[in-house]
Amino acid sequence: MSSARAKREVTSPKGMALKRPGPPGGVRDTNRLKKSQAIRDAALLLFLERGIEGVSVDDIMKAAKMAKGSFYRYFADQTALVDDLMSETKRVMVDALEATSSDLETAATRDTQVRAYKRIGEVLATLLLEHPGEVRLYLQESRAPAVGARKPIIDLAALVTRYALEMTTKAQQHRILKPIPVSVSALSVVGATERLLLAVLQGEDIGDVLEVPAALTTLILDGLKA
């Protein structure tokens, strides 16, 4: 395959080459990006309204006002579309969790613990402001069966749980958190955080949204501290 052709192709999650029209940055490439974004936007609205498993490719393309066959020029299947939709949210979340877990390796005081958890609170606030639809989709689908196109979200939820368990273990080793079962402590925090995020997205009266990260950090540490 020539280098020019290789630049016009990407690899789908199933290893299928999806051809990109024209050179990167060209008119055709710009049109491709606009059309793929139109598909994402239409899909997200439908997913939030009906749930992922209640939406078909045909539904998405009708909402996007495009021919059904055009879908497969941009995405291998609906699972690939969901994976793409959640990619930025996943990157931001995992980066924050990884950094916080690393910080907790040496977080031997409450101040360092607060700083470590505050990072996650700040990231969640940013996600709520910049990607509210994707965050709501995650909250909506993360506890449903891991079937069909929902799988990327379930995989992300499992990753969040793994990091929560890891961070709680480290905090207990530093004797900052109560020595209650790690899974109980970690999952309680995850559940409370997700409920708070949902309250924000649903417009419930919880006060100043900008104060949520600090309040959440305090709640976690004061409620579970040793």
pLDDT in tens, 5-39: 433 334 444 434 355 555 666 667 678 889 999 99
Higher pLDDT, 3 or 32: 32
Between CA 53 and CA 159 the distance in angstroms is 22
Confidence of residue 220 (pLDDT cuts 50, 70, 90): low
CB atoms within 10 A of CB 214: 14
78-122 confidence digits (pLDDT tens): 999 999 999 999 999 999 999 888 888 887 777 777 777 778 878
User: What is the C-alpha separation between 170 and 191, in angstroms, rounded?
Assistant: 19
- Computed over its alpha carbons, how large is the radius of gyration of the chain? 20
Query: Could you tell me the sign of the dihedral formed by the alpha carbons of 40, 69, 52, 158, in that order?
Result: negative
Instruction: Give residue 199's pLDDT.
Output: 84
* Cα angle: 63, vertex 130, 25; to 5 degrees: 65
Tell me: the pLDDT tens digits for 119-150?
A: 887 888 888 889 999 999 999 999 999 889 99
Mean local confidence (pLDDT), 163-190 = 84
Residue 219 — pLDDT band, cuts 50, 70, 90? low
Is residue 224 scored above 50 in pLDDT? yes
pTM of the model: 0.79
Single out the residue of 184, 183, 160, 176 nearest to residue 217, CA to CA.
Answer: 176
CB atoms within 10 A of CB 51: 14
Which domains are assigned to the chain? 8-76 (1.10.10.60), 86-224 (1.10.357.10)
User: Which residues pair with residue 9 across a beta bridge?
Assistant: 19
Tokens standing for residue 199 = 């309250």
Distance CA 81, CA 164 (A): 27
